[in-house]
Chains A and B, each alone.
Chain A
Amino acid sequence: MQIKPVLSALQKHRLAALLIVLEIALACAVLCNAGFLIASRLSAMQLVSGVDESSLGFIQLEGFDPKVANDLNARVVAGLGAMPGVQSVHVINSVPFGPQAGAFGVTLDQAGKQFRGVPELYLGDPGTPEALGLKLVAGRMPGAQDYQSVVEGYLPASSNVLITRTFAQRLWPGEDALGKTFWTGKNQFRVIGVVANLSVQQYDEEGERGAQWTVFVPTKSGPPLAGTYLIRADPQALDRVMVEARTVLARIAPDAVFDHQQSDTLPVLRERFFATDRAMAGLLVGVIVALLGVTALGIVGLTSFWVAQRRKQIGIRRAIGATRGDILRYFQTENFLIVSFGIVLGVVAAIAINLLLMKVFEVPRLPLHYLPIGALALWLLGQLAVLGPALRAAAVPPVVATRNV
């Protein structure tokens, strides 16, 4: 198939061809960027929490008198622990995807000069790291002697803590974190163990906090650690346990208010946490589908018009020896050329839009491999859209050439 005659024929339809080129370019630009946004939403939803989500549930009670906190903790741990299917119950301040329970700026020195970020702190009573299912990569889990009471404020004055691999690298890049100390205000932490992952409670991509910037502080239950509980249960029994826990709690802790909003299984809390991301990804998919649909219909409409307009020329070409395949390929080549021009423009536009998005919304740079994928999608779309009108063109009989009207 020669390209030159196709190009010279297009010269006669400059305006219409230009419009398709423009449409393809816009579609290409939007497609690449929307596709990239979808992919980043989906990858954000893959956040590794580092805990055995399918076995865990979180319960929050409120409105009790702080004076009865110890008594309440004892009643709840005993009451919930006695339920069939429950493996263990712990007092914990929060869980991944649970309510934000405390972020503290930390420094490497007591004077507070070497600031290293604002991690989230997990406080839990003996056995909590094991119940969460934290995976130790270095050092040891806290032993009974490491769990301390909070005398003043929110934290023990000095504690032996677990930190995540990621946060250890943040504090001491390239060094062994074990045995090292860091501070938040007057409170000192000594690292006794490093865990693979333990994600923050409410991860905000735009925030300054990394997803795995967490510290686990072993604490004895009792004020201020009260009213929030971790249930570990058999995964099959977890949903039932969480439902029945409400009736059990109404009986054993009538003086506390059950927080329906925050208390749920971790899979549900996770799902809820990512609900807006999922909705946005769905919306973007919808826009892409509509966009490609409209573009395809536009190509069908304009090509059909061209076929109708050129019926006579097609007849003549057929009469002087062109096969049906020749006619079909002519329109396919024409479409390929137009779409290619569109893609060239579209790639430039895609990068421009990405630069704009980077500036306004702080999205990352568009990886280059999205461009060929987008181009391929549009070539395919163009060929599919042109097939119908091109087949109709190929079906034009040679005899048309001899007719006057």
Chain B
Amino acid sequence: MFGYYLDLALRSLRRNKALTALMVLAIALGIGASMTTLTVLHVLSGDPLPGRSGTLYYPQVDARDDSGIMPGKEPPQQVTEIDGFNLLHAKRADRQALMTGGSVPIRPDSAAIDPFYVEARYTTADFFAMFGAPFRYGHGWNAADDEAKARDVVISGELNERLFGGANSVGRTLRMAGSLFRIVGVLGDWAPSPHFYDLNTGAYGYAEQVFMPLQTALDLHVDHNGSSDCWGNGTGGVGRIYPSSSCVWMQFWVQLDTPAKAADYKEFLVHYSEQQKALGRFVKAPNVRLRDLMQWLAHMQVVPDDVRLQTGLAFGFLLVCLVNTVGLMLAKFLRRSAELSVRRALGASRRALFAQLLIESGVVGLVGGVGGLLLAVLGLWVVRHRPSDYAALAHLDPAMLLTTFLLALGASLLAGLLPAWRACQVAPALQLKSN
């Protein structure tokens, strides 16, 4: 029966090409627009470290005084240098890393390459293991190197390609920021997106090419980039002038393997705040947060407002397209009242007519879905050529491909329900009389 109805549907659709084309176009436009924006939203709100994000937490403590420079109940979004190192050295988590961002000038040995600037991350030993950064060659540095302010550096695969043609450069030296560094590791492809561990650099399309021990960086006074929020007499945070002690400018991440450990760690943060208050460093009552990675991203509203707005807009548009399709299908089905009434008179049940009409709208949905997919591919191409830092990420993945078809089919079946039901109400013989 399905094959026969399909045949009937195709015949009927072919009979009135303009109306069919209109319906297909409306569905395709609606699906195309919503899939483009939904894909962007999906890409941007994705998990940067699948499988790991559940055990990564971002502790926040509140070291501010009450001078009111930074109002609000939320603790600062970063930590001060003192708190950062205190928490790091407390080693209460399974792994922990303190970090901040910057940029360093590189002077290649080869005279053929001009000196250039690269984005850098100044961090501590656990960074690589905690975030699962893959090494192509070598390995990271260890905690002892941190304390010794070792001139060790880990470079990205991209920088390795640029400087050493992709060869194993472990053990070679690199002249950066006026000092000689020893390359201890080369990373593979790794650029978590969003750039969750420091959102101040821009959440998307940002990847460091150089990773060096934080204490080494502080020792050498290399450039600091990123946000610094100060209170009281806090100043600085521009270039080589580091923020003073009443400024937050570092990010501290911990890995806590079980929820019980996370609860303990939060307890620890409260104790730490109380202890600092007793020492006179903190003024406020303990004000701590311990969000996991995805909660942190949600809290920071990392997905740009524009993207969410566009998605809403596109679905509004899809709704208009659907209402439009419902209207057109209604016109189409009612026009065939005579034919349907003959089928009813010959013994077809309402249910059979309903199935036939739904198959017809399903066909419209499928064709519209294919059209919508093409439009979405085109739309994503446009997005990729637009000036935004997430542009390069906008690609359709298999999950979104499937979603497109389900959405198109579901939408058109939904659009077909009302007209099909209305058309089935036709009396069996009435239409036979008139024409």
Q: Which residues of A contact B (CB under 8 A)?
A: 15-16, 19-20, 22-23, 26-27, 29-30, 34, 37, 62-63, 65-66, 101-102, 104-105, 112-113, 115, 118, 153-155, 184-187, 206, 224, 257, 259, 272, 275-276, 279-280, 283-284, 287, 290-291, 294-295, 297-298, 301-302, 304-305, 308-309, 353, 357, 360-361, 405
A15 touches B317 (CB 8 A): no
B238 touches A302 (CB 8 A): no
Bound-complex Cα distance A112 to B386 (A): 44
Pick the residue among A34, A115, A153, A275 that contacts B236 (CB under 8 A). A153
A259 touches B233 (CB 8 A): no
- By a CB distance below 8 angstroms, the chain A residues around B335 are 305, 308-309
- By a CB distance below 8 angstroms, the chain A residues around B19 are 301
9 cross-chain CB contacts under 8 A = A22-B323, A23-B320, A26-B320, A30-B313, A224-B240, A280-B306, A294-B29, A309-B334, A361-B305
Q: Within B220-250, which residues are at the interface with A (CB < 8 Å)?
A: 223, 230-236, 238-241
Is B398 engaged at the interface, CB distance under 8 Å to the other chain?
A: no
Stretch of B120-128, B324-332, B405-413 lying at the A interface: B324-332
- By a CB distance below 8 angstroms, the chain B residues around A115 are 67-69
- By a CB distance below 8 angstroms, the chain B residues around A30 are 313, 316-317, 320
Bound-complex Cα distance A104 to B233 (A): 11
B323 touches A23 (CB 8 A): yes
- What are the nearest 5 A-B pairs in CB distance? A63-B105, A305-B331, A298-B324, A275-B387, A19-B327
CB distance from A27 to the nearest CB of B (A): 6
- B55-75 to A contact mask, C-beta < 8 Å, 1/0: 000000000000111000000
Is B422 engaged at the interface, CB distance under 8 Å to the other chain?
A: yes
A361 touches B330 (CB 8 A): no
Bound-complex Cα distance A279 to B323 (A): 28
CB distance from B259 to the nearest CB of A (A): 31
CB distance from B42 to the nearest CB of A (A): 18
- By a CB distance below 8 angstroms, the chain A residues around B117 are 62-63, 257, 259
Nearest A residue to B307, CB-CB: A280
Nearest B residue to A274, CB-CB: B387
B387 touches A298 (CB 8 A): no
Bound-complex Cα distance A295 to B178 (A): 65
Nearest A residue to B418, CB-CB: A15
Pick the residue among A37, A294, A302 that contacts B331 (CB under 8 A). A302
- By a CB distance below 8 angstroms, the chain B residues around A62 are 103, 105, 117, 223
Is B210 engaged at the interface, CB distance under 8 Å to the other chain?
A: no
Is B314 engaged at the interface, CB distance under 8 Å to the other chain?
A: yes
B320 touches A104 (CB 8 A): no
Pick the residue among B105, B235, B326 that contacts A257 (CB under 8 A). B105
Is B308 engaged at the interface, CB distance under 8 Å to the other chain?
A: yes
CB distance from B161 to the nearest CB of A (A): 20
Pick the residue among B317, B328, B422 that contacts A287 (CB under 8 A). B317
Q: Known contacts A16-B330, A291-B317; is A154 also within 8 Å of B241 by CB?
A: yes
Task: Tally A-B pairs: CB < 8 A.
Answer: 146
B238 touches A101 (CB 8 A): yes
Q: Known contacts A26-B319, A154-B236; is A20 also within 8 Å of B327 by CB?
A: yes
A23 touches B235 (CB 8 A): no
A112 touches B67 (CB 8 A): yes
B331 touches A290 (CB 8 A): no
Q: Known contacts A23-B323, A30-B320; is A276 also within 8 Å of B387 by CB?
A: yes
Bound-complex Cα distance A74 to B149 (A): 35
B29 touches A186 (CB 8 A): no
Interface residues on B, range: 35 or more
Bound-complex Cα distance A241 to B410 (A): 59
Q: Known contacts A16-B330, A224-B241; is A301 also within 8 Å of B22 by CB?
A: yes
Is B359 engaged at the interface, CB distance under 8 Å to the other chain?
A: no
- By a CB distance below 8 angstroms, the chain A residues around B240 are 66, 224
A290 touches B29 (CB 8 A): yes
Nearest A residue to B233, CB-CB: A185
- By a CB distance below 8 angstroms, the chain B residues around A29 are 316
- By a CB distance below 8 angstroms, the chain B residues around A37 are 309
Nearest B residue to A104, CB-CB: B235
Bound-complex Cα distance A309 to B231 (A): 75
Bound-complex Cα distance A353 to B330 (A): 28
CB distance from B314 to the nearest CB of A (A): 7
Q: Within B15-52, which residues are at the interface with A (CB < 8 Å)?
A: 19, 22, 25-26, 29-30, 33
Q: Known contacts A105-B69, A224-B238, A298-B26; is A23 also within 8 Å of B324 by CB?
A: yes
CB distance from B232 to the nearest CB of A (A): 7
Bound-complex Cα distance A112 to B223 (A): 29
A257 touches B306 (CB 8 A): no
Task: Given contacts A153-B241, A294-B30, A301-B22, list 15 more A-B pairs with CB under 8 A.
Answer: A26-B319, A26-B320, A66-B240, A102-B238, A185-B235, A187-B235, A224-B240, A280-B310, A287-B33, A294-B321, A294-B324, A298-B22, A298-B26, A305-B331, A353-B316
Bound-complex Cα distance A305 to B16 (A): 12
- By a CB distance below 8 angstroms, the chain B residues around A206 are 305
Nearest B residue to A279, CB-CB: B386
Pick the residue among A66, A272, A275, A287 that contacts B314 (CB under 8 A). A287
Is B110 engaged at the interface, CB distance under 8 Å to the other chain?
A: no
CB distance from B9 to the nearest CB of A (A): 18
A361 touches B328 (CB 8 A): no
- By a CB distance below 8 angstroms, the chain A residues around B234 are 185
CB distance from A404 to the nearest CB of B (A): 8
B235 touches A154 (CB 8 A): yes
Q: Known contacts A283-B310, A305-B334; is A184 also within 8 Å of B235 by CB?
A: yes
- By a CB distance below 8 angstroms, the chain B residues around A113 are 67-68
- By a CB distance below 8 angstroms, the chain B residues around A153 are 235-236, 241
A295 touches B331 (CB 8 A): no
Name the residue in B26, B103, B309, B320 with the highest tally of chain A Cβ atoms < 10 Å from its Cβ. Answer: B320
A297 touches B26 (CB 8 A): yes
CB distance from A33 to the nearest CB of B (A): 8
Is B2 engaged at the interface, CB distance under 8 Å to the other chain?
A: no
- B103-122 to A contact mask, C-beta < 8 Å, 1/0: 10100000000111100000
- By a CB distance below 8 angstroms, the chain A residues around B69 are 105, 112, 115, 118
A186 touches B313 (CB 8 A): no
Bound-complex Cα distance A361 to B304 (A): 10
Bound-complex Cα distance A278 to B125 (A): 43
- By a CB distance below 8 angstroms, the chain B residues around A305 are 331-332, 334-335
B331 touches A16 (CB 8 A): yes
Nearest A residue to B388, CB-CB: A276
Pick the residue among B230, B323, B387 that contacts A272 (CB under 8 A). B387
Q: Known contacts A65-B178, A257-B115; is A284 also within 8 Å of B313 by CB?
A: yes
Q: Within B185-232, which residues are at the interface with A (CB < 8 Å)?
A: 223, 230-232
Name the residue in B19, B233, B241, B328 with the highest tally of chain A Cβ atoms < 10 Å from its Cβ. Answer: B328
Bound-complex Cα distance A276 to B315 (A): 21
CB distance from A361 to the nearest CB of B (A): 5
- By a CB distance below 8 angstroms, the chain B residues around A360 are 308
- By a CB distance below 8 angstroms, the chain A residues around B114 are 257
Nearest B residue to A22, CB-CB: B323
Bound-complex Cα distance A153 to B387 (A): 36
Bound-complex Cα distance A113 to B66 (A): 9
Name the residue in A153, A155, A187 with the highest tally of chain B Cβ atoms < 10 Å from its Cβ. Answer: A153
Q: Within B339-395, which residues are at the interface with A (CB < 8 Å)?
A: 386-388
Bound-complex Cα distance A367 to B435 (A): 54
B317 touches A23 (CB 8 A): no
Bound-complex Cα distance A197 to B109 (A): 48
